[in-house]
Amino acid sequence: MEHLTLYGRQGWGSVLAETQLVWYGMPYELRSVGDLFADEEAQRELEKINPAVQVPTLVLPDGGVMTESGAITLWLAEEAESSELVPEPGAAERTQFLRWLFFVTSNIYPVYTYADDPSRFVPQESAQPAFAERMGDRAKKLYGVLNDEAAAPWFLGDRFSALDIYICAMTHWRPGRPWFEENTPNLVAIAAAAKALPKLAEVWARNYPDD
């Protein structure tokens, strides 16, 4: 396939797409975007491609645009004609894979959108910290649910999948490693195992150089 262009930022959600591109050995060009919460120029540039102004944003060889990490996950598996990260239709793990992929992308991920910059949603400055805290509580609850559902050594049991990549990436985010270690040991174990995969070592190190 012709090359893909991934707009991303070190350690941000673009790592979800980048790891999968690396896994499948798909050629891609990485375009680093500035801090989308602070850099208006970076916002304006990305907005031309993805009006939601978020990463990952993937531009396809035909100029089409793919956003939404969950959709990108399903699309990449199809494009790669691989079931290594996405259980194929009919596979025993498919149902739970889809359930938890959507749980992560449509339940947990938006909590970050709301808490990253509460001023976008709560005009009154004095109310913003409490709002962010409530969002943090929501994330903790949902990560607890995910932890209780997690099998071993991978989320789906014996079968590695893109869910393990999400868990590895997201346990680098809020509420922070100590909280995950104390409260979600199953997720932390999965994250460590995903981190140790030689195929992904470089891309993890690029995104999380301080680990």
Please give the residue ranges that form the binding site for ligand GSH (CB under 6 A). Answer: 12-13, 36-37, 53-56, 68-70, 105, 109, 112-113
The answer to whether 5 and 63 have CB atoms below 8 angstroms apart is no
Query: Taking the complex as a whole, how short is the minimal distance between the CB of residue 123 and ligand GSH, in angstroms?
Result: 17
Query: Taking the complex as a whole, how short is the minimal distance between the CB of residue 64 and ligand GSH, in angstroms?
Result: 16
| Pair of tokens at residue 28 | 């891609």
Query: Taking the complex as a whole, how short is the minimal distance between the CB of residue 89 and ligand GSH, in angstroms?
Result: 22
Instruction: Tell me whether residue 95 or residue 119 sits nearer to ligand GSH (CB atom).
Output: 119
Residue 26 gets which letter from DSSP?
Answer: -
| Pair of tokens at residue 37 | 């919460």
Q: What is the DSSP string of 71-86?
A: HHHHHHHHHHT--SSS
Instruction: Tell me whether residue 70 or residue 87 sits nearer to ligand GSH (CB atom).
Output: 70
Instruction: Tell me whether residue 12 or residue 204 sits nearer to ligand GSH (CB atom).
Output: 12
Query: Taking the complex as a whole, how short is the minimal distance between the CB of residue 92 and ligand GSH, in angstroms?
Result: 26
| Residue facing ligand GSH at closest CB distance | 13
Tell me the β-bridge partners of 7.
31, 57
Q: How many CB atoms lie within 10 A of CB 10?
A: 13
